A and B are shown apart, each in its own frame.
Chain A
Amino acid sequence: MKDFEYIQPDSIATATELLAEGDAAWSNVSRRAIAGGQDLFGELKTGIVEVDSLVDLKATGADNTIAVDPSGNLRIGALVKLTDVAELAERGPVASLLAAAALSVASPQIRSQATLGGNLCQRPRCLYYRRPEAICLKKGGDECFAYGGHNKYNAILGGGPSFIVHPSDLAPALVALDAKVTIAGAGGATRELPLADLYTLPSEGDVTRETVLTPSEVLTQVETQLPLVDRMAGTWRSSWQKFRERDGFDFALSAVAMCLRVADRRIVDARVVLGGVAPRPWRSAEAEAALIGQELATHGSAEFDALAVAAGEAALTGAEPLDHNGYKIPLTKGLVRRALQELSR
């Protein structure tokens, strides 16, 4: 790694001030925040990112706790390690979905260093983005090399002009749990956003970024807000399905986070969010509409089959595969089916 200065600020306010002092151009800031660093070190060591100094958020003493409210929703500090999310006791649909998603991330070593906030703010895994010699759209160039190149791991939904996929597993799970995030910025400013609104598509603005965070902003907290206690009937169930080339220690080729609210075997509310297939966590209103109002039939029945096919088709509405990633369409439909199968038990 190129040499840099390592700064340990004593508060988030100091950290965001330090970050604001850095260069404002996102792709070329000389000062970056570091939390677990598991993604950032990869960028620094390959040389696709260079910094003059790193500002360690872990030193700030900011929130690294998990709080469970009586309904079962969770408030998690952005500095919580993925190991601790993965070890959440399987109490209810929120904790079990998050624990399953966290456990599917990388390896035990990386989970004990990686933080929730860092997982949500990961940079793309695209082969071209990660190669220092490929000055692609994401790095300020003028071409997405994946589009006409090797695109087995790239987007089938929401792509263009860049075709990266967002690599986070926690992001689709948390979007399915109606999570909101708290963001701290320079000058003590804080703002809250639905997690879904943290992410942007390449076509929506600055193609070199995946989130709306400014260089001086950091995530501080995530809070799930699944309507667990309201007057609506039924109970929530959740399922996490992730498919990867190796069974351990790999990114998702496709993933499905599904939450269903079921009353008398009828689906009264639904969240379907796809990972690994789009530049952002891909919430599928079409799949949710295909599920809501239907009977959650027993797996093996013709009714279950029809529901799984309809939901899978709906989830892939608008999918446009590139040359090498057409497999993601049947794969994702299969994961939707697996999620429904788990939830129909």
Chain B
Amino acid sequence: MGNLNLKINGDHHPVDAPDHWTLLEVLRYRLDLTGSKQGCDKGDCGACTVLVDGKPELACLLLAGASEGREITTIEGLMPAHRAAGGTGADPVQDAFDRAGALQCGFCQPGMMLSTRALLNEEERPSRERIREALSGNLCRCTGYTQIIQAVELAIHETCGEPVEHPAWAPDQAPWGDAVSTVPGRKGTGSSDTTQGEQA
């Protein structure tokens, strides 16, 4: 039993929390969904980004009580949703961020990937300008953003089954290794369609 009933990553979570708790506090300190990071806790950094009814929102600026009756997706829900839709491996966005080295400390990464997922759910082939705009609410203090943009473009190309452009700094290498995830209805774009190290 609980005074709140939240729908998170497809599951119903009855939970007890004070009225003034944000969704972020409930995720982290009641439900142990600590993938959503508590960075600035005031809407500047984007590390707490979650999807609410498909739109990126800041869990630190949303009361838990105001998120009842809405579909919440956290970083923990991306891979299960991808697999439930028939894919293998992780969400292609997660896979691309991994292989493109789009992180150093990793603190911003869950929010970055959820903002990217929201963008790619709306647009199949967003321009670089659109990508930059869509990620403008997610701060990264490590990477300088270059590999993050490359990771998003890698995910776009692989999801669309298109050849991937080699980064300027590695013209001769297969870009970032082969895709581990596959998207329903499409063959993997890497040299191998087999998934590696997967357990369903």
Q: Which residues of A contact B (CB under 8 A)?
A: 1-6, 8, 37-38, 41-42, 45-46, 54, 56, 58, 83, 106-110, 112-113, 248-249
Contacts and interface: CB of A to CB of B under 8 A. Distances in A.
A37 B56 CA distance: 15
Given A42-B42, A112-B57, A113-B61, A249 B19 contact: no
Q: Identify whether the interface residues of B are mostly helix, strand, loop, or mixed.
A: mixed
B62 interface: yes
B62 A37 contact: yes
A41 B56 CA distance: 18
Contacts of A106: 137
A5 B60 CA distance: 18
Nearest to B55: A112
A154 B46 CA distance: 27
Among all A-B residue pairs, the 4 with the closest Cβ atoms: A107-B137, A248-B136, A6-B19, A112-B55
B10 to A, nearest CB: 20
B19 A41 contact: no
21 contacts: A1-B20, A3-B19, A4-B19, A6-B19, A37-B66, A38-B43, A41-B22, A41-B42, A45-B42, A56-B66, A83-B55, A106-B137, A107-B46, A108-B56, A108-B134, A109-B43, A109-B56, A109-B137, A112-B57, A248-B132, A248-B133
Nearest to A46: B42
A248 B55 CA distance: 19
A6 B65 contact: yes
Contact of A108 (B18, B62, B133): B133
B20 A108 contact: no
A6 B17 CA distance: 12
Nearest to A249: B136
A108 B43 contact: no
B58 interface: yes
* Most chain B CB neighbours (cut-off 10 Å) among A54, A58, A112: A112
